[in-house]
């Protein structure tokens, strides 16, 4: 299931832009990118 831009922003904001797996900072714009390069997926920040 795809998330809209707004939904992704809400999820990202809820976690202070951090990955719940390793607490690294992820960039909102890097959604879907490779995690090692500040990318993230919804599951990583919201699960
Ligand atoms: Zn992480």
pLDDT at 14: 93
pLDDT at 15: 92
pLDDT at 41: 93
Number of domains in the chain: 1
pLDDT at 46: 75
Q: Residue 30 has which token pair?
A: 């890097």
Per-residue pLDDT of the chain (47 residues; tens, 9 = 90+): 689 999 999 999 999 999 988 999 999 999 999 998 999 999 989 75
Alpha helices in 1-47 (DSSP H): 5-14, 42-46
pLDDT at 47: 57
* Residues near ion ligand 1 (Cβ under 5 Å): 19, 21-22, 24
Domain of 11?
A: 5-46
Calculated CA dihedral for residues 7, 11, 12, 15, nearest 10 degrees? 170
What pTM did the predictor assign? 0.82
Distance 41 CA to ligand 1 centre (A): 10
């Amino acid at each position: 299931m795809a998330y809209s831009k707004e939904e992704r922003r809400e999820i990202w904001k809820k976690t202070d832009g951090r990955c719940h797996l390793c607490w690294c900072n992820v960039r909102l714009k890097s959604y879907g990118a490779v995690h090692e390069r500040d990318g993230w997926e919804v599951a990583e920040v919201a699960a």
